[in-house]
Chain A
Amino acid sequence: MFAEFTEALFSIFFVETLINGLLLGGVLALLSLGLNLIFGVIDVVWICYAEIIMLGMYTIYFLHVDGGMPLILAAACGVGVTALLGWLTHRLVIGYLLQAAPINQLLATGGLLFFFQGAAMVAFGIEFRNLGVSLGSLAVSEDIYLSWTRLLSFAIAAGVVVVLYQFLSRSYLGAAIRAISQDREIMILMGVNTKKLYLLTSAIGGGLAGLAAALLALQYDVHPFIGLSFGPITFMVCVMGGLGNMVGGFLAAFVFSELITIGGYFAELEWGYVLAFAFFIAAMFVRPEGLFARKS
């Protein structure tokens, strides 16, 4: 038993697992970025975030497969659609609830979750749809293969973090967004149009969901309930990184993805998820404000 374990630990496949975990972390990081931005600025958890990604995946699927649009263009349209959805979510739902109890805001987006699922089911049916595009994999050595899609996700996630960071720290709008996340009340007195900034943030958050959708569509089949399979993990990543803390979320994504892939390597994939969630619960007790949160 123990010998088997050590053998498994030092096998070449374990190295592959570790690298794949790292790359999965890229996808998770991208998934959590938009949610983190929205939480940091508007102080609302969008439970329906994964469903917006699902609708983005459908947009890309239909434009590419049925519409015959090039993949890149379809992905760009997907980003546009999800950005619009993000804008609408704030305009039609959250905007009316800014003064309500935080938990009501969370529940309202939960209502949107069901609405998006129902709408997708009505419009697209429940069949699994596959984009049918494979980017193949990169052979690092004889035994190690890395999927190009995951490498791409990793690169894009890293790129987006850098761009978002630059945007928030250098640009005028970014400074305004950072200021509003620090003090909501005073910004109104300074003559800032908070409503506009919230809508802009929601649209950016939605757009990031579209970007995640483009990468997920390459790896997974689309169906109306796909959001439930990666929604919970996205929230866990954000909370563990310290809600609203984008760098923390980025690091947490890698901790989670390693736990999932390592758990999946030694047992079944579900145990990987169990391990990750159990770790999350344990981590919350050690540092309720998030593992990577800065002390305020």
Chain B
Amino acid sequence: MNSKLLIAVIAAILVALPFIGLDSYPLHLVIVILIWSFAYTGWSIMGRFGLVSLGHGAFMAIGGYVTALLWNELGLSPWIGIPVAMICAGGMAVLIGYPCFRFRIVGHYFALVTLALSEVVRQVIIATRDTTGGSLGYTPERHGDGWSVIALQSDDRTIFYFVALFVWMAGIVIWRMVDRSMARYALEAISEDEDASAAVGVQVTKEKLKVTVLSAVMTAFAGAMYCQYQMFISPDTIGGVGISLQIVFAVVVGGIYNSLGPTIGAVITLLLAEVLRIWIGTEAACITDKICLNVAGVPLLVYGIMLVLFIIFLPKGIVGACADRWRARGNNGALAK
């Protein structure tokens, strides 16, 4: 009962957020966090079953680039473009996933095959630079000023905030739906022992493929959202190995086995980067006149150390560790009685 009250209070705060005088910049941060949280949630839907994909940067890039290219080149509204992009990402997931699962490519090998996928997509974007702008990035054309329903563009951050909030909540709901479905038990069995679960009648390839396609489609949607909000995409901001790793790490930090883990991970990693950037600044700090330190690299450095420490000491992530502690305390209390 308490938890329901807590959820209601949090929901009320989230809805009221743009109206309590939040500045444009913090609101922007919250929107970015919500969009990434959705992508991270999408990754963790399959990641929690041991399907560690390093290819989600590819799905995200497909989502963003297909939507933007259809809009600029063919004048197709994102209302059509986004579903098309999601279908493309789903198709790509089947293309990679089916043979992988059919031929039992798991663990390291699965991670590396998907890593190749994110590199292929990145290189294709760079190679077709005449259309996509290559590494310089790509901008969807503006459709008039202000708020355009057809182009899904808006100057007003408040509107975007509510869209992002809704999408994020939908992501959490999907996560929970998977969590409560039969597929979850099948996938958990598969991640424990593929042969044994196949022997008791679990359709290994089909179950894995279903969850992979769902995850890819969600990530592509996040990519399209990011594109519509930022109005700028480049292979390095929504694709490639860097983004793929960023997705995995945020989830690991937050907690892979809990519906709110990816969101907490997004809050921590994105806020950390932002706080460090503002706090340290981007000016070079000179110790002597010959030795200057480029402090712009500090967030990356701290991020790296944090990840290593997390994986060694808190492999279940922050949410997972808290949940364990809470449960342990509950058990102790029960024993004391």
Query: Which residues of A come within 8 Å of B, CB atoms?
Result: 45, 47, 93, 96-97, 100-104, 106-108, 110-126, 224, 228, 231-232, 235-236, 239, 243, 267-268, 270-271, 273-274, 277-278, 280-281, 284-285, 288
Known: A118-B300, A119-B301. 5 other contacts (CB 8 A): A103-B52, A106-B108, A122-B293, A284-B99, A288-B104
Residues on the B chain within 8 Å of A112, using CB = 304, 308
Q: Which of B109, B111, B126, B310 contacts A288 (CB 8 A)?
A: B109
Contact B248 A273 (CB under 8 A): no
Residue of A nearest to B126 (CB): A270
Residue of B nearest to A269 (CB): B127
Q: List 11 A-B contacts (CB under 8 A).
A: A47-B245, A102-B108, A110-B248, A111-B310, A113-B245, A115-B304, A117-B297, A117-B300, A123-B294, A224-B297, A239-B109
Contact B108 A274 (CB under 8 A): no
B307 interfacial by beta-carbon distance below 8 Å: yes
Query: Which residues of B come within 8 Å of A, CB atoms?
Result: 50, 52, 96, 99-100, 103-105, 107-109, 111-113, 115-117, 119-120, 123-124, 126-127, 240-242, 245, 248-249, 252, 284, 292-308, 310-312, 315
Residues on the B chain within 8 Å of A114, using CB = 245, 300-301, 303-304, 307
Q: How far is the CB of B286 from chain A (nearest CB, A)?
A: 12
Q: Which of B104, B306, B311 contacts A107 (CB 8 A)?
A: B311
Most B-side CB within 10 Å, residue of A96, A102, A224, A284: A284
Contact B296 A273 (CB under 8 A): no
Residues on the A chain within 8 Å of B124, using CB = 270, 274
Contact A231 B304 (CB under 8 A): no
Contact B301 A268 (CB under 8 A): no
Contact B296 A103 (CB under 8 A): no
Contact B304 A113 (CB under 8 A): yes
Q: How far is the CB of A266 from chain B (nearest CB, A)?
A: 12
Q: How far is the CB of A282 from chain B (nearest CB, A)?
A: 9
* Contact A281 B96, CB 8 Å, known A107-B249, A114-B304, A268-B127: yes
Q: How far is the CB of A114 from chain B (nearest CB, A)?
A: 3
* Contact A228 B109, CB 8 Å, known A270-B127, A278-B120: no
Q: Give complex CA distance A93, B306 in Å.
A: 12
Contact B297 A118 (CB under 8 A): yes
Q: How far is the CB of B289 from chain A (nearest CB, A)?
A: 15
Q: Give complex CA distance A112, B297 in Å.
A: 14
Contact B105 A284 (CB under 8 A): yes
Residue of A nearest to B104 (CB): A288
Residues on the B chain within 8 Å of A288, using CB = 103-105, 109
Contact B126 A281 (CB under 8 A): no
Top 9 A-B residue pairs of the complex, sorted by shortest distance between their CB atoms: A121-B297, A115-B304, A118-B301, A111-B307, A118-B300, A114-B304, A270-B127, A285-B99, A111-B308
Contact B295 A122 (CB under 8 A): yes
Contact A108 B312 (CB under 8 A): yes
Residues on the B chain within 8 Å of A236, using CB = 112, 116
Contact B105 A107 (CB under 8 A): no
Residue of B nearest to A92 (CB): B308
Contact A111 B241 (CB under 8 A): no
Residues on the B chain within 8 Å of A119, using CB = 297, 301
* Contact A122 B123, CB 8 Å, known A114-B304, A115-B305, A236-B116: no
Q: Give complex CA distance A271, B252 in Å.
A: 34
Contact B112 A121 (CB under 8 A): no
Residues on the B chain within 8 Å of A281, using CB = 96, 113, 116-117, 120
Residues on the A chain within 8 Å of B104, using CB = 288
Q: Give complex CA distance A116, B305 in Å.
A: 10
Residues on the B chain within 8 Å of A122, using CB = 293-295, 297-298, 301
Residues on the B chain within 8 Å of A115, using CB = 300-301, 303-305, 308
Residues on the A chain within 8 Å of B306, using CB = 111
Residues on the B chain within 8 Å of A268, using CB = 127
Contact B304 A111 (CB under 8 A): yes
Contact A232 B119 (CB under 8 A): yes
Most A-side CB within 10 Å, residue of B100, B103, B297: B297
Contact A110 B312 (CB under 8 A): no
Residue of B nearest to A39 (CB): B108
Contact A108 B307 (CB under 8 A): yes
Q: Give complex CA distance A78, B249 in Å.
A: 30
Contact A110 B307 (CB under 8 A): yes
Contact B248 A277 (CB under 8 A): no
Contact B119 A273 (CB under 8 A): yes
Q: Which of B111, B115, B302, B308 contacts A93 (CB 8 A)?
A: B308
Q: Which of A107, A108, A121, A239 contacts B300 (CB 8 A)?
A: A121
Q: Give complex CA distance A280, B105 in Å.
A: 13
Most A-side CB within 10 Å, residue of B103, B116, B302, B312: B116
Q: How far is the CB of A263 from chain B (nearest CB, A)?
A: 10
Q: How far is the CB of A199 from chain B (nearest CB, A)?
A: 17
Q: How far is the CB of B252 from chain A (nearest CB, A)?
A: 6
Q: How far is the CB of A273 from chain B (nearest CB, A)?
A: 5
Q: Which of B112, B116, B304 contacts A118 (CB 8 A)?
A: B304
Q: Which of B109, B293, B305, B315 contacts A123 (CB 8 A)?
A: B293
Residues on the A chain within 8 Å of B245, using CB = 47, 110, 113-114
